[in-house]
């Protein structure tokens, strides 16, 4: 089983390295188009930057809400443990 995983990882690595040049082709066009438009007084680059920020916002908000929910849940469970501990202690000292 280990041998099969090693071979699979090796194949995936070769495929990713073989397509490295083709994956980099879009970066030049995405940079040159807006930058040349910005030099001539256009505002395409600002729109692309706003779109990128908008697309980044949704995953971050989703992750933050999940982490916040888990944190709040754990905090409320700990608070209940503390509350029951002190209630029991107050009952035994009376």
Domain ranges across the chain: 1-42
Confidence (pTM): 0.46
What average pLDDT does the structure give for the chain? 79
How many residues make up the chain in this entry? 94
- The Cα-based distances of 4 to 7, 14, 17, 93 in angstroms read 5, 15, 20, 65
Q: Would you say 37 and 48 are in contact if contact means Cβ atoms under 8 Å apart?
A: no
Q: Would you say 51 and 62 are in contact if contact means Cβ atoms under 8 Å apart?
A: no
Which has the closest alpha carbon to 32: 22, 45, 49, 23? 45
pLDDT in tens, 80-94: 888 888 877 666 655
């Amino acid at each position: 089983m280990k041998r099969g995983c090693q071979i699979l990882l090796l194949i995936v690595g070769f495929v990713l390295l073989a397509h490295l040049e083709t994956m980099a082709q879009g970066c030049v066009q995405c940079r040159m188009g807006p930058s040349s438009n910005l030099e001539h007084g256009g505002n395409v680059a600002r729109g692309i930057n706003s779109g990128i920020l908008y697309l980044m916002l949704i995953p971050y908000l989703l992750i933050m809400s999940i982490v916040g929910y888990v944190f709040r849940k754990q905090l409320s469970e700990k608070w209940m443990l503390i509350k029951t501990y002190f209630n029991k202690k107050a009952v035994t000292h009376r």
